[in-house]
Structure formats: C-alpha cells, structure tokens
Amino acid sequence: MGILDNLENALSTWNEKLAEIWGLLTTSPENFRGGGIWDVMVGINGALQAIGSALLVLFFVVGMIKTTTNLQEVKRPEVALRLFIRFALAKAAVTWGMTIITSIFDIVQGIITTAANSAGSATMTTLPQEMIDAVNELGFVESIPVWAVSLIGSLFIVVLSFIMLMTVYGRFFKLFIYAAIAPIPLSSFAGDGTSQIGKAFIKSYLGVCMEGAIIVLACVIFSVFASSPPVVDSSASATTMVWSYMGELIFNLLVLVGTVKMADRLSKEILGL
C-alpha cells in the first residue's frame, strides 16, 4: 500500500466515523438502530415500576417516621396534606417516569439539533494537493521513510476515530440504562430524607443528555479547522511536508477526541451539577 493510500484510507475512515457520529447525535433513542433497543428498555422500565411502587411505600413510611415525632401529628390536616401531595407526586414520577425522561431528552435534543443545523454538516478532511504532488514525485528510496511516517500517522487517525465513536455510543448506552432503571431512583421522592437520590438521578441524566450538545459543538469547531487544513510548505521536502501535516492534523484530532471524552465532565461543570 502506498503513502497516499495510507493517508487517504485513514482520512476516509475518519470522515466516515465523523459523519456517523454526526448522525448519531441527531438521532433519538427511540429511533436508534430501528428502535428495537428502546422497546426493550421501555419493557424493562414497565417491569421495574412494580418494584419502584414497593420502594415508594417504603421510602414514604421511612420519611414519614423521620419528619413526624408521633402518629398524632400525622392527623393534623396540614401535615397529612403535605404527606399526601409528596406521595402523589412521587407516584406520578414512578408511573410517568418514561415521559419525564423523554421530555428532558427532547428539550436537550432541540439544542443539539439547532446547533447541528446551524453548522450544516461535518466538513470532510482531505489531503492538500501540494503534498499529493510532492509525494508522487518521490523515488523509491526517498519514499521509504515517508511511507513509515504515513503508516504511523494513519494508525493514529484510525484509532482516534474509533475512540470518539465509542464515546458517542457509550452515551447512548447510558441513556438506555437511565431510561430502563428510572422507576427505582424516582421512587425516592416519596421520602423527605431520600429525595436527594431522585434529584441526583435527574441531574445526572440531564448531564448525559447535555453531553450530546458538547460533542456537537466540539465537532462544529473541528469542522472549521478542517475547512482550513494545515498549511503545507511546498518548498520543503516531501518527508518534512508529511511530518508537518500529520503532526498538526493529529494534534487537532487529539484536541477533538479529548474534548469529546471530557464531554460528561464539561456538561456537569456548565450546568453546575
């Protein structure tokens, strides 16, 4: 395989994975892979509602014991009304947990879709024509070190593309897990002392949803970089040109992949979670 083949195949893989990521970020869990996984998660959520209802009663009783000094206090209208409202809201959260989950996702997805539509589509990364011409003029002996550089750089690009893709797929897996297990943490809203569990669950889920917005913005920024590829010095040797181009390109890719990997932390910092 030649020098240009190495580089073009690596960039083709990168562009392909970047386009796949762009599509994944604008896809809802209900439509991911035909919706089959989401249907299973909905079924699990429904099955866990029975457990969530049992925990709801347990958390409610524990919370009532902690917030009232004696049973006579429960008979007071204002205390009884407050406990009833808390129980009713917690029961609604468990029963309509999937609706709550999807509503939060739809709100954040609107942000993601708006950002993606404003940017258009991911810009494809291509080789500069000056470097292609210089590589084509190389002799056999001169091409050996350049081929080695192109091979190492190509491996880096392919590995980085798969790391970023795995991160985006990981976000989908987290969304599915949150949706399936929602009745359990949401049942904690029934107790005054346990409600922090439900609040932490909602905040954490919101952070996972916002990861998509961070990743889209990172891809948009990278697309601007890709539209202005690394400058190639046409007066330099082919080896120097390839080294310089690969070094700057891989640096840009590392910044993008690093930002994508840190999307969960960035989303929590931005939202103060």
CB count, 10 Å around CB of 224?
A: 10
pLDDT-derived band at 9 (thresholds 50, 70, 90) equals confident
Specify the pLDDT at position 181: 92
Distance from C-alpha of 35 to C-alpha of 221, rounded to nearest angstrom? 30
The CA angle 27-182-90, to the nearest 5 degrees, is 130
Query: What pLDDT shows up at residue 157?
Result: 85
Instruction: Give domain limits for the chain.
Output: 3-271
Q: Which amino acid is at 218?
A: A
Q: pLDDT (tens digit, 9 = 90+) per residue, 26-68?
A: 888 888 888 888 899 989 988 988 888 888 888 877 777 766 6
Residue in the structure block whose two tokens are 């925990």: 55
Is residue 90 a contact partner of residue 60, using CB atoms and an 8 Å limit? yes
Residue with tokens 């468990």: 94
More confident residue, 263 or 63: 263
